[in-house]
Structure 1
Amino acid sequence: MVDATTKKTATPRQKAGRKTSPDAASPAKASPEKASPQNPDEATAAAPKTAAGLAPARTAADRETAARQTAVEKSVDRELARTEPAAPADEPRVDVEALGRQLLGRWADIRISAREVAGRPEMQSVPGLSMAEHRERVLGQLKLLVDNGQVHRAFPVSVGGQEDHGGNIAGFEELVVADPSLQIKSGVQWGLFGAAVMHLGTQSHHERYLPAIMSLEVPGAFAMTETGHGSDVASIATTATYDPQAQEFVLDTPFRGAWKDYLGNAALHGKAAVVFAQLVTQGVNHGVHAFYVPIRDADGVFLPGIGGEDDGLKGGLNGIDNGRLHFRGVRIPRTDLLNRYGDVAEDGTYSSPIASPGRRFFTMLGTLVQGRVSLDGSAVAASKVALQIAITYGSQRRQFTAASDTDEEVLLDYQRHQRRLFPLLATTYAASFAHERFLVKFDEVFSGKADTDDDRQDLETLAAALKPLSTWHALDTLQEAREACGGAGFLAENRLTGLRADLDVYVTFEGDNNVLLQLVSKRLLTDFSKKFAKADTGALARYVVEQAADRAYHGTGLRSLAQTVKDFGSTARSVEHLREPGVQRELLTDRVETMIADAAAKLRPASKLSKKDAAALFNSQQNELIEAARAHGELLQWEAFTEALDEVADPPTKRVLTWVRDLFGLGLVEKHLAWYLVHGRLSPQRAQAVSAYIDRLIARLRPHALDLVDAFGYRQEHLRAAIASGAEAERQSEAREHQRAQRESGTAPVDEKTLRAAKR
């Protein structure tokens, strides 16, 4: 495994000339890089790479530039020493290097390799390109990924792959820091188009089609979504009707709403597509199946019967050629049905190893879950980048002389600025640890280590729970980071607006977030009902009594009263209670279980109603069920964070991370305080203590904020944001030096307000 300290260039703080502050790491664990920001090895590592990955020789101009930079760094170093609060001697200190290794997870070496690739200029987005230029640049970058061996990990060994499913996703999601268009277009090619052939096809399809897909000889599209149907895949209207005389399938899009839409690679580059269509043979519709369909010739011209359109300029991801496809009597060989889960014999007889059409459909879709896995991880990565930019800038930017006649205050010292960013930082840590567990689960299922029906259902539920949370969180984080950076955050050079635009659609593709959470709520209801499916009369009676007692205890205020009596006159006792992991777990779990139990009780009559009335009843509970599913996902994140704390060997780091975990958990409670009060789970005094303790946690985390974002491991070549490069610290240092010189020379003008005050 490659160590986490290899292949690194300077962090934004090191680029700014920052010395290791007392709160960065204990002396015994401080990294050599931090102890010597200007060491020659690091300077070499920070040099720009050539296409071959080698640093060019230093010229005289380079040496002159380096000398100027050293002078700047000394100035910046003085400024950073003023802006970064030193932790008191008895405060814990974060071991940034060890925490960074933990965050890299099981596939650390692959992540480091992918970050090295993502840090190369030739792999990154270039502001100001036209849509056409951006598309061609991204296509060229895909070829570089092939040349660098970055895309074949998940494919079968028989065709040159490595069958490393977890490592494949880990490397793929890091590409978001280079250019989200690159990440998503590569995902279309190898994670959707190629993965569909791999998972839905059989050995003959692998041998015939995967080598050309892997090498990019055949760029392809994943043609599932239609203009008329997106989330409701089972109702797509494209048909594939079997002709036994010719032993061919005939593909048709019978009306405009059946056109395949929003497809990456469809507008320009795609030569083939995996097309999802209703399989009809012998007059029977056997539901949605997948077919390998060539769509263009070697010159890029549509084949007979196939047409399409360019989706044009989008709100983001304009390096991807999204487009539409339609089919009129397009014939393909019978053997181009991807027949792992359903096949048609020469005479038209249909067969499947899965008898139930519904189960067959969901099994087929379940094999394509990796898209949701990778979006979860890439959204977390984007959140890390945004916070590293915003917190770095906030630690250097100064505004208002609130506490001094001469020195302006650092933005990150303002409580409101901390309140804006630190809860997002805590959620990002929770999402990162949850994603690592998610990725391990995915790898176990797809490697066959743990691949039962229950394992696959658990994985699909996990994907449906976490992908919505992380993608919504990424948008919230990017927007808050943009606002926290003021006008500078709105400049394209600082990347926040571009990332926000590109990640916008992450909440929609691979499953609309609200639809995915409905899948989670369905699973929660199913699990709830299973508890009573085999229960005897005594067990049911006990449950009824327990529910009645629960309602009496909470609904009549007895629990709230008990808390008030216990905590009477002492906010400290309220806070001490809330700090306990068991209490946080109980509060988060209780909310999920109560919401599901309440919804289940209200839905119980549905089995006796007409289809129309049952649908109306379910619709009346839809919002509550989605909220319960979201709360379930948040509980999973909290549990993952708590488990990750057990893996932290360094006690001071563990203490700081425990504060971060508490901020995440109690932040969820604070967000839903009304629910906890209405349902009698918290007394008013404890409810007040939640916000009070959060304010204390945020103040405690202030000295560690930069270490916590530095542990993400993204360096200047990944961030590529001027405001996170040390430039702001340089400007602040220049201004302070100017003001100091004026004061010392006696040439500084007297402020009018000072004169007026002296006359009073």
Structure 2
Amino acid sequence: MTTTAERPASVRTADARVDVPTLEQHLLGRYADLRRSARAIVADPAFQKIEGQPYAEHRERVLTQLRRLVAETDVLRAFPTALGGADDHGGSLARFEELVAGDPSLQIKAGVQWGLFASAILHLGTADHHERLLRDAMFLQVPGAFAMTETGHGSDVASIGTTAEYDAATQEFVLHTPFRGAWKDYLGNAATHGTAAVVFAQLITAAPGGERVNHGVHAFYVPIRDAVTGEFLPGVGGEDDGFKGGLNGIDNGRLWFDHVRVPRRDLLNRYGDVAADGTYSSPIENPGRRFFTMLGTLVQGRVSLDGAATNASKLALAIAVTYANQRRQFAGADDDEVVLLDHGEHQRRLLPLVAEAYASTYAHEELLAAFDDVFSGRADTPATRADLETLAATLKPTSTWTAMRTIQTCREACGGAGFLAENRLVGLHQDLDVYVTFEGDNTVLYQLVAKRLLGDYAKGLKLHSAGDMARLVAERAADAALHRTPLVRAAQTIADVGDARRSVGQLRDESTQRQLLTDRVETMVAEAAAALAPARSLPPAAAAALFEAHQHELIEAARAHAERVQWEAFTRALATVDDPGTRRVLTRLRDLFGLTLVERHLAWYLIHGRLSAGRARTVSSYIDRLLVRLRPHAQDLVDAFGYGPEHLRAAIASGAEQVRQEEARAWNRAQRASGEAAVPERHVRG
């Protein structure tokens, strides 16, 4: 990394400076020591990805890395102390998220083994399962798969086709794959390494009258391979998913079951049990609530993906900004080539993404705190679990989509050098690509968030009659008319004319940014609620069609909500920064984040009359001013991410580019000083 002392005076400013070590500690958050210890692990080349390694070798390398994690590191923090863990749920995820810097395949395979397979036994099983099965899963004696997703049903888990029908005569479940689309698919550890799986299936029992009853999706512990020979057990089959677009250190595969008999005791029965005679019971009577409660216990996958994706964005930005501060291109006024980051468009490409990375970091820290509060038991209620699930569904899509956009922009900003595998960016892009569709497809997750927003909105308004809804619609129509009235827009424009400072002052005001972001969310939710209100009195098919017609608006409302959540987290974090210079720079970075969101949605603000055309222009012009003010601090801001050369592992961020540029500049200066430099043709007079 480049230190402040090494940078030329031209990139320093008198009005603000960043205390990099203090800011790094601030960004690392509550689990700073655990994050540093994880970064020390992936600083070891033995835990780092070898670009271009054949995928069969890559898989074995990652399995070896997992075994080393068990033997040499504190990898079981989330599990009970009595079993060798630490009952530290938030700290455990904070460590796992950092593995992405070594190899995303390592981070995800660790998540499969401990965050999904072993955690399903822990959270969906009971004392008997913990005693019999959990320890071997924790210590990797039994590598396991998490067999939920099916070829024909990805995010729609409730509709999976695999069945587990209870046979009271033998006290066994008969696990069966009735058709090809019900094959379990994309499962880590399924292709080669897994010897058992937690399999999700529709639990079917016989009622007293002989009627077969489907109690919905439940989880079963199922051995799938002989631990010695590696061969599938009788009735179990599968395929290797083969080479993928990324994450090829994970042995993803498919599984199917042909009337495999599973002992009754291997139903993970915390939320649903079957007695010897076939009687079904559950502590949660409502089937829908039971289903979502079971899935909610596995929310840590989404939480960890949010953190890992944010870390990947920071790695990419550290590489691209470091390169942009050293690489020179195109001559300036003094015939010396200009550092890339001094070009205005380069600042426009990278610095708003740095601001997003900070917002994502602070929002993730709050998500980790909420996760730890619930899973530690300190604040474990149905309401807090619902809030946690909503927050995870809000942030995971946002950070994973942002990571893809960030890595691609960084790749382009590094030109051809960014396309070389040695500079990490293409590899990160390939590995992070699938993050947007696993542990919940991003679009589906945003849809869940939108439904929660609509539910909270309806509860807040306590709409009990058609008259209430009619009044709401009328009020919203009046509000829209007010904001869209030309007179109101003209008044705002007149207020701004001749005094751009007043407009800028309002835009950088925290309350103004909050109002703009909040108003957009609330308006979008209210408009969607009004549009969907007739669904309550429509036949099911017509109601479903109405919902589909407005699905896009719902997803955009969820996106707006996610942006506001991140902005609020950034703003709360600002209040905890003590160093005045650092706080001043971070405030500008927060303003850049907030106003970039407003600029991104300027059409909405103009159409809905929230901004005049004049003030809309001021948004963009003030962003340009912020970029100029933040440019001198760009290297400090990415250095504060805390990743060293051993984590970045990119030749263009190693300092080699700085050496090349200085060599070239020295040669050109010597040529000019000696008078031996060739004269450009345009300077030759005819």
Amino acid of the structure 2 residue aligned with 1:431: S
Supply the distance in 2 between the matched residues of 1:322 and 1:88 (Cα, whole angstroms). Answer: 51
Alignment of 1:214-613 (within 5 A): 214-282=138-206, 283-298=212-227, 299-405=229-335, 407-533=336-462, 546-613=475-542
Structure 1 residue 562: Cα displacement: 2.9
Structure 1 residue 608: Cα displacement: 1.2
Supply the distance in 1 between the matched residues of 2:608 and 2:298 (Cα, whole angstroms). Answer: 40
Supply the distance in 1 between the matched residues of 2:152 and 2:477 (Cα, whole angstroms). Answer: 47
Residues 386, 422 of structure 1: alpha-carbon distance in 2 compared, 3 angstrom cutoff: same
Q: Answer yes or no: is 1:87 the counterpart of 2:12.
A: yes
Supply the distance in 1 between the matched residues of 2:470 and 2:189 (Cα, whole angstroms). Answer: 59
Amino acid of the structure 2 residue aligned with 1:623: H
Query: 2:600 aligns to what?
Result: 671
Q: Answer yes or no: is 1:159 the counterpart of 2:83.
A: yes
Structure 1 residue 549: Cα displacement: 4.1
Q: Provide the TM-score with structure 1 as the length reference.
A: 0.88
Q: Is the 8 A contact 1:571 1:685 kept in 2?
A: no
Q: Is the 8 A contact 1:114 1:150 kept in 2?
A: no
Q: Helix, strand or coil for the counterpart of 1:277? A: strand
Structure 1 residue 609: Cα displacement: 1.0
Q: Is the 8 A contact 2:218 2:268 kept in 1?
A: yes
Q: Helix, strand or coil for the counterpart of 1:254? A: coil
Structure 1 residue 587: Cα displacement: 0.5
Supply the distance in 2 between the matched residues of 1:239 and 1:106 (Cα, whole angstroms). Answer: 43
Query: 2:121 aligns to what?
Result: 197
Q: Provide the TM-score with structure 2 as the length reference.
A: 0.97
Query: 2:48 aligns to what?
Result: 124
Structure 1 residue 573: Cα displacement: 1.4
Structure 1 residue 564: Cα displacement: 1.6
Q: Helix, strand or coil for the counterpart of 1:400? A: strand
Supply the distance in 2 between the matched residues of 1:194 and 1:163 (Cα, whole angstroms). Answer: 14
Structure 1 residue 754: Cα displacement: 1.9
Q: Is the 8 A contact 1:465 1:516 kept in 2?
A: yes
Q: Helix, strand or coil for the counterpart of 2:237? A: strand
Q: Is the 8 A contact 1:117 1:123 kept in 2?
A: yes
Supply the distance in 1 between the matched residues of 2:466 and 2:266 (Cα, whole angstroms). Answer: 55
Query: 2:36 aligns to what?
Result: 112
- Which range is displaced more, 572-581 or 500-509? 572-581
Supply the distance in 1 between the matched residues of 2:466 and 2:239 (Cα, whole angstroms). Answer: 62
Supply the distance in 2 between the matched residues of 1:596 and 1:559 (Cα, whole angstroms). Answer: 24
Identity %, equivalent residues: 67
Q: Is the 8 A contact 2:13 2:632 kept in 1?
A: no
Task: Provide runs of 4+ in structure 1 moved above 4 Å.
Answer: 534-546
Q: Deviations over 1:521-567 (max 9, x none)?
A: 00000011112327799988985675354233213234423312322
Q: Answer yes or no: is 1:748 the counterpart of 2:665.
A: no
Q: Is the 8 A contact 2:51 2:427 kept in 1?
A: no
Amino acid of the structure 2 residue aligned with 1:580: D
Q: Deviations over 1:369-396 (max 9, x none)?
A: 0000000000000000000000000000
Structure 1 residue 85: Cα displacement: 2.9
Q: Answer yes or no: is 1:737 the counterpart of 2:666.
A: yes
Supply the distance in 2 between the matched residues of 1:233 and 1:690 (Cα, whole angstroms). Answer: 44
Supply the distance in 2 between the matched residues of 1:540 and 1:271 (Cα, whole angstroms). Answer: 56
Q: CA RMSD in A?
A: 1.5
Supply the distance in 2 between the matched residues of 1:473 and 1:93 (Cα, whole angstroms). Answer: 27
Q: Deviations over 1:652-691 (max 9, x none)?
A: 1111000000000000000010100000000111000000
Q: Deviations over 1:330-367 (max 9, x none)?
A: 11110000000000000000000000000000000001
Q: Helix, strand or coil for the counterpart of 1:487? A: helix
Supply the distance in 2 between the matched residues of 1:400 and 1:565 (Cα, whole angstroms). Answer: 42
Structure 1 residue 312: Cα displacement: 0.1
Amino acid of the structure 1 residue aligned with 2:334: S
Supply the distance in 1 between the matched residues of 2:487 and 2:564 (Cα, whole angstroms). Answer: 26
Q: Is the 8 A contact 2:524 2:553 kept in 1?
A: yes
Q: Deviations over 1:36-73 (max 9, x none)?
A: xxxxxxxxxxxxxxxxxxxxxxxxxxxxxxxxxxxxxx
Q: Helix, strand or coil for the counterpart of 1:107? A: helix
Supply the distance in 1 between the matched residues of 2:33 and 2:156 (Cα, whole angstroms). Answer: 39
Supply the distance in 2 between the matched residues of 1:635 and 1:361 (Cα, whole angstroms). Answer: 30
Supply the distance in 2 between the matched residues of 1:562 and 1:445 (Cα, whole angstroms). Answer: 49
Query: 1:96 aligns to what?
Result: 20
Query: 1:31 aligns to what?
Result: none
Residues 746, 456 of structure 1: alpha-carbon distance in 2 compared, 3 angstrom cutoff: same
- Which range is displaced more, 474-483 or 603-612? 603-612
Structure 1 residues without counterparts, runs of 5 or longer? 1-11, 22-76
Q: Is the 8 A contact 1:272 1:295 kept in 2?
A: yes
Supply the distance in 2 between the matched residues of 1:381 and 1:279 (Cα, whole angstroms). Answer: 39
Q: Deviations over 1:66-107 (max 9, x none)?
A: xxxxxxxxxxx6xx53xx733233x20001111110100111
Q: Is the 8 A contact 2:463 2:469 kept in 1?
A: no
Q: Is the 8 A contact 1:578 1:690 kept in 2?
A: yes
Query: 1:171 aligns to what?
Result: 95
Q: Deviations over 1:475-516 (max 9, x none)?
A: 000000000000000000000000000000000000000000
Q: Helix, strand or coil for the counterpart of 1:511? A: coil
Supply the distance in 2 between the matched residues of 1:85 and 1:597 (Cα, whole angstroms). Answer: 50
Supply the distance in 1 between the matched residues of 2:281 and 2:673 (Cα, whole angstroms). Answer: 90
Query: 1:57 aligns to what?
Result: none
Supply the distance in 2 between the matched residues of 1:548 and 1:699 (Cα, whole angstroms). Answer: 41
